[in-house]
Every structure is written in C-alpha cells, then in structure tokens.
Amino acid sequence: MNFTSLVQAIQLTHTSFRQQAIKAVNQSLTVRNWLIGFYIVEFEQKGEDRAVYGSNLLEELSKKINIPGLASRSLLLFRSFYLVYPQIAEVAYQQFKIINIKEIPIWQTLSAKLQKELQISQTSAKLQTTNNQSTNTAQSMNKFTGYLAIDAAKLLSKLSFSHLVELFPISDPLERTYYEIECIKGNWSVRELRRQINSLYFERSGLSKSPEKLSALINEKAEQLQPGDVIKSVYTFEFLELNAKHVVEESDLETALLNHLQQFMLELGHGFCLEARQKRILIGDEYYFIDLVFYHRILKCHVLVDLKIEEFNHNNAGQLNTYLNYYKKEVLVHDDNPPVGILMVTNKNQMLVEYATAGMDSQLFVSKYLVELPTREQLENFVLNELKQL
C-alpha cells in the first residue's frame, strides 16, 4: 500500500459509511411514520374509546404526545402514508421486531396482521416465480396492493420520506409507481420530483412517440439527489430533534448576511421587535421558511424579510407574496394592520430591494410604513457594504 492508496481507502470508507448512516436514518424515519399511520388507522377502526374523540382525534393526539414534528398535520400525513403504501408492512415488521417494544398492546395486532400478510406474500412469490421465471421482484405485482409496485425494501433504500410526501397526492397507483421508478432511475432530488410531477411528465411520456428519448433528455438535465439533502430534510431534523433552521441556511455568506441584517434592523429602532428567525410555516403539505419576522409596534403589523443570494426572479416575488397572504389569513388578529414584506435580492454586483403588501387598501397606512421602515437606499447600502467586507 502506498500513500495514495491509503488516502483513497480512508475517503471511500468514510463516504460508504456516511451514506449507510444516512440511509439508516431515512429508513428509520420512514418506518416510524408508517407505523404511526398504522396505529392511527387501527384506533379509528377498533379503538374502544374512538367515539369520544371523533374528528378531533389527531388534534388531541398531537397535544397529548407532545413530540416535535408530530403536529396534527403531520399525523394526518402519516395516516395517508400508511393507506397509500401498505407494502411498507414488510420492512416495518422487521424493523419493529429489532427495536423490541412488545409491551405495547398494539404490537400484538401489528404482529398478527403482518405475519398473515407475509405468509400470503410468500405464497404469491412462489406462484409468481413458477408462472414467470423472469419476474423482477423489484417491480412486480405487489401482494398488498394488487397492482404493479416497487419492492418495499428497494423503495425505502432509494427514496427519502420527503420524496414519498410528494407522491401521496397521486391517486392513480400506476402513475405513482411510474414516478417512483423514474425518480430512482434518475436519482432525482425532491425538488426535481416535484418539478416533473407538476410538468405532467407521466402524461407527456404516454403521448410521446419515444418515451425512452424523453426520459434520457429529462435525466440529463435533472437535479440529482445528494446525500446531504436527506439529512437536511425538515422531517429528519424533527425526527432527530435538531435545529431546523440549518435546513435553509445553506451558505456562510447567507448566514453572515442574515446575522448582520437582523442586528441592523433592530438598531434602526422605529419599533422593530424580532419575533422569529427562519420562521417555519406549513402551507398544504409543504414547509417554507421566512428568513426574518419582525413585529412593528408602531405600525402594528408583521414585517417579513426574505433574503436571496441570487438575481431577482418572479419566483422570489411570488414566494414573498405567498408568505404575506399566509400571515394575513392565519396570523393577523383584529387590531393588526396587514403584513409588510421586504424582498432583498443580490448577485453581488447589484442590489434590489422590493417592498410588498398583502392587498392593502389604506393609502394612509402605505404612506406611514414608507416612513417607518428602512429606505431602499439604507438597505442597499447595508448589503453592499456587508458584501465588500465578506
């Protein structure tokens, strides 16, 4: 062994075990979520006191367990996961046996149910192999669902829970399996999977005269999943009880700018009170983060600040407007004024500051906030000076 081979051995060993650890965390998170969904459905169907809770079950359950990441919306998501992916039972049964928590009464139900399903699966597998020796077990008729589906172990080893969340809303099992296969084949990031679903890739492939060429073209340009993307998932951070703000603070430059911008706005006075940093909000089934949220005691409104280390594009403005509408609908109380948004965009060469309001009608208030908030020139000079120093 020479020095070069020593370096390579250490690097490869580190990478391999790091990827293995990430896969283990992802699989544990995914199986946990599936089991929680299973428990909820079992209680809804057979719980002795289920009638007491009715439609408030998930809200009451979330309050009682008091675990980060297990809000009622998440519990509803896990319930959907169990119903959409019954084949995960194969992996869940093995994982649940390993952690050995048989003292849970519901374990007996789970164990008996899964053992029965596993016996059916073994019989099905033998019949299928006899009928077709070339059967691909990774993409075969699934014994739990009755339709073409990817093997559960392969699914969990290749897709994160964040990927699966994107697939839940697809009601057609064939379409959902198509995206699973393409996502695994192309090693797509979650964002890429969402992009392809929204672009109707499944339908376009069906209409295309050369689906293989379309697939090759898409995967050539696709954003690929990186190992760190799995760990940076919001669900993973909640599962490990880590600080979720690191999910979005991806660069030293962005972190430094936000640190100084926060202090800069507080030092301006004029009634700014810092309420949150990397404020997480849930819209539908997707999490968003607002860089800085202030409450202005003079204007009596929230001030949302979004900083982008890139050139301006309309997606930035649309996203800030979405945040404002969310605050107007979900956070605004009777004596609050509508929220104000400040979008700051930079590509290091130029600076753009845009103010936005959530459908304000009062010209008097608009005039007032222009006086109380920092001017465009102040914000531009601040960021340009910070960039020079950084």
Measured between alpha carbons, how far is residue 225 from residues 168, 231, 240 in Å?
A: 19, 11, 21
Pairwise CA distance, residues 277 & 289, whole Å: 9
* Report field, pTM of the whole predicted structure over 0.85: no
Pairwise CA distance, residues 262 & 305, whole Å: 9
Q: Does domain 244-389 have CATH number 3.40.1350.10?
A: yes
pLDDT tens figures, 6-41: 788 888 988 888 888 888 888 889 999 998 998 898
For residue 182, the surrounding DSSP H or E stretch is: helix 173-186
Location of each CATH 3.40.1350.10 domain in the chain:
244-389
Q: Directed axis angle between helix 3-46 and helix 89-99, to 10°?
A: 100
* H helices present in 47-105, as ranges: 50-53, 57-65, 72-84, 89-99
Check residue 351 and give its pLDDT.
Answer: 67
Q: Is 327 exposed, middle or buried, given 0-12, 13-18 or 19+ CB atoms closer than 10 A?
A: buried
Which amino acid, one-letter code, is at 42? E
Pairwise CA distance, residues 234 & 232, whole Å: 6
CB distance 209 to 218 below 8 Å: no
φ, ψ for residue 144, nearest 5 deg: -85, -35
229 half-sphere exposure, CB direction, 13 A CA radius: 16
Q: Give the alpha-carbon dihedral of 240, 244, 247, 250, to 10 degrees.
A: -120
Check residue 129 and give its pLDDT.
Answer: 41
String of DSSP letters for 89-140 = HHHHHHHHHHHT-TTSTHHHHHHHHHHHHHHHHHHHHHHHHHH-TT--TTEE
pLDDT tens figures, 163-202: 999 998 898 999 999 999 999 999 998 889 988 998 889 9
Low-confidence ranges of the chain (pLDDT < 50): 121-122, 124-141, 247-250
Check residue 124 and give its pLDDT.
Answer: 47
Check residue 137 and give its pLDDT.
Answer: 39
C-beta neighbour count of 287 within 10 angstroms: 17
φ, ψ for residue 355, nearest 5 deg: -95, 140
Q: Directed axis angle between helix 106-131 and helix 89-99, to 10°?
A: 130
Closest CA relative to residue 269, chosen from 384, 374, 377: 374
Check residue 79 and give its pLDDT.
Answer: 93
Check residue 128 and give its pLDDT.
Answer: 43
Pairing state between β 301-308 and 340-346: parallel
Check residue 184 and give its pLDDT.
Answer: 92
CB distance 229 to 189 below 8 Å: yes
